[in-house]
């Protein structure tokens, strides 16, 4: 049985191909795709075995330094799956897709987002950096276009002129961010993964994702910090 489970079938290959073309996929989409791939290739399907199915693919991706990773949307807490390149840590993966000054703009945008209180950077603040780039200055129009591409490529998300890191970016760059922004990057106290958009305890400074805040305080009559037990002064989303 174990030997069978570890075997890569055409269903696994199809799943991987579709995920590769998307880059990232929401959990419910991944579950539908899992089912469809198994049906098309007449492979045993069980609705609660998606993670096993993916770990089979991962065992075959290991020599290629790639992995399908599960992460969470910071907006609604939904699971997402993304294909991650393990050999090209940090921003080197992006280097083949973008010009040097575009990468510099991305890095500076990331600095703004990660060091902000709410995990967002305004387009005004980002565009003001465009003519301060060391590699090659950018006109604001150009910078606007580059930001648009970062959104299309799922590195950034934009809402009402405010930018944050896309779920794909967080899944892919979590280790890079945690090691390069040690002073400001924090993990969520509840799910222990990187928290960009988070609420922070005024007393002890721990952070929690908004969906984790919502879930954690749902059962409590009075919101108190899970770490220091002080009153949680932020508005519960």
Residue 103, in any domain of the structure: yes
Cα 134 to Cα 100: distance, rounded to the nearest angstrom: 10
- Whether residues 162 and 208 share a domain: the answer is no
In tens digits, the chain (237 residues) has pLDDT values of 344 446 899 999 999 999 999 989 999 999 999 999 999 999 999 999 999 999 999 999 988 889 999 999 998 999 999 998 887 655 666 877 899 999 999 999 999 999 998 899 999 999 999 989 999 999 999 999 999 999 999 999 999 999 999 999 999 899 889 989 998 898 999 999 999 999 999 999 899 999 999 999 998 889 999 999 999 988 888
Residue 78, in any domain of the structure: no
How many domains does the chain fold into?
Answer: 3
Burial 201-214 (b: 16+ CB within 10 A, else e): beeeebbbbbbbbe
- Whether residues 42 and 115 share a domain: the answer is no
Q: Could you say which DSSP state residue 223 is in?
A: -
Residue 34, C-beta contacts closer than 8 angstroms, at least 6 positions apart = 15, 45, 50, 53
Cα 81 to Cα 25: distance, rounded to the nearest angstrom: 5
Q: Could you say which DSSP state residue 236 is in?
A: P
Residue 206, in any domain of the structure: yes
Alpha-carbon torsion, ordered 179, 185, 188, 189, to 10 deg: 90
Using the 3D structure, point to which of 131, 148, 175 is the last residue of a domain: 175
Is the separation of the CB atoms in 27 and 81 below 8 Å? yes
Cα 26 to Cα 183: distance, rounded to the nearest angstrom: 31
Residue 4, in any domain of the structure: no
Residue 84, in any domain of the structure: no
Range of the domain at 34: 10-64
- Whether residues 103 and 169 share a domain: the answer is yes
- Whether residues 105 and 159 share a domain: the answer is yes
CATH code of the domain in which 162 resides: 1.10.10.10
Spell out the long-range contacts of 14-19 with Cβ–Cβ below 8 A and sequence spacing 24 or more. 14/40, 14/41, 15/53, 15/57, 16/57, 16/61, 16/68, 16/83, 19/68, 19/81, 19/83
- Whether residues 171 and 98 share a domain: the answer is yes
Residue 136, in any domain of the structure: yes
- Whether residues 125 and 168 share a domain: the answer is yes
Cα 153 to Cα 149: distance, rounded to the nearest angstrom: 6
Residue 5, in any domain of the structure: no
CATH code of the domain in which 198 resides: 3.30.40.10
Instruction: Please spell the DSSP secondary structure of 110-144, one letter per residue.
Output: HHHHHHSSSS-EEHHHHHHHGGG-SS----HHHHH
- Whether residues 106 and 171 share a domain: the answer is yes
- Whether residues 98 and 142 share a domain: the answer is yes
Cα 147 to Cα 117: distance, rounded to the nearest angstrom: 21
Cα 231 to Cα 5: distance, rounded to the nearest angstrom: 49
Residue 70, in any domain of the structure: no
Record the pTM. 0.85
- Whether residues 168 and 190 share a domain: the answer is no
* CA dihedral sign of residues 198, 202, 206, 212: negative
Using the 3D structure, point to which of 48, 64, 80 is the last residue of a domain: 64
């Amino acid at each position: 049985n174990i030997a069978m489970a570890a075997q890569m079938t055409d269903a696994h290959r199809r799943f991987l191909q579709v995920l590769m073309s998307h880059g990232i996929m929401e959990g419910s989409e991944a579950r539908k795709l899992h089912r469809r791939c198994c049906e098309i290739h007449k492979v045993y399907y069980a609705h609660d075995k998606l993670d096993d199915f993916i770990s089979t693919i991962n065992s075959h991706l290991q020599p290629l330094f790639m992995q399908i990773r599960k992460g969470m949307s910071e907006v609604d807490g939904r699971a997402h799956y993304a294909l991650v390149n393990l050999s090209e840590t940090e921003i080197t993966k992006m280097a083949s897709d973008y010009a040097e000054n575009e990468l510099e703009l991305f890095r500076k945008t990331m600095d703004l987002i990660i060091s902000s209180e709410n995990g967002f950077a305004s387009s005004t603040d980002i565009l003001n950096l465009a003519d301060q780039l060391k590699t090659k200055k950018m006109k604001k129009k150009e910078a606007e276009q580059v930001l648009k591409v970062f959104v299309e490529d799922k590195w950034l998300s934009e809402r009402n002129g405010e930018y944050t890191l896309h779920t794909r970016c967080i899944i892919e760059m979590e280790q890079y961010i945690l090691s390069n922004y040690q002073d400001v990057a924090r993990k969520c106290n509840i799910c222990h993964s990187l928290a960009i958009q988070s609420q922070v305890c005024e007393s002890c400074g721990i952070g929690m994702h908004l969906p984790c805040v919502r879930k954690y305080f749902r059962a409590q009559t009075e919101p108190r910090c899970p770490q220091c037990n002080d009153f949680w002064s932020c508005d519960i989303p």
